[in-house]
Amino acid sequence: MPRCRVTRRVHFNAAHRLHNPARPDAWNAATFGVCNNPNFHGHNSDLDISVEGEVNPDSGYVLDLNTLKQVTEDRVLQHLDHKNLNLDVAWFAHLNPTSENLAIVIWRELRAAVPGELALSVRLWETPRNYVEYAGA
């Protein structure tokens, strides 16, 4: 059976501050630069969600994109979009909201809702030039 990878791209914006409270302020400033700004700052992020698997011979789909759209809105976007990641989002109460950690958390949320026979990967664009990928390692 042929296999395809299907991707949906969504967008969200959110504020954050990168900070490790276990390390001194100077370390945080040197490590995170402007992302350590005490009063937060915003990012406009694109998120590509890909599922890969066999094309169903009855539907011709790997997964109905409307299903992926709904799952993404319910499990990811409603938690993140227009939020302060540090203050508003329980996932980051004790986790530094880097793009790496964001990609991992998003993947875990989606993995619980995407059929198990489909491979899942996410690509989080923190800027048009930088992205992080996670596929469950």
Sites of contact with Ni ion (CB under 5 A): 35
Q: How far is the CB of 35 from Ni ion (least distance, A)?
A: 3
DSSP secondary structure, 95-122, as one string? S---HHHHHHHHHHHHHTTS-TTSEEEE
* 35, 43, 79, 109: the active-site residue: 35
Instruction: Give CA 41 to chain center in angstroms.
Output: 18
Known catalytic residue at 19: no
According to DSSP, the residues that pair with 76 across neighbouring strands are none
Of the pair 35, 102, the CB lying nearest Ni ion is at 35
Which CA distances in Å does 49 have to 5, 39, 76? 10, 30, 11
Residue closest to Ni ion when measured from CB atoms: 35
Of the pair 35, 118, the CB lying nearest Ni ion is at 35
d(CA 123, CA 46): 8
Of the pair 35, 114, the CB lying nearest Ni ion is at 35
Q: How far is the CB of 29 from Ni ion (least distance, A)?
A: 14
Known catalytic residue at 82: yes
Kindly list the catalytic residues: 35, 82, 126
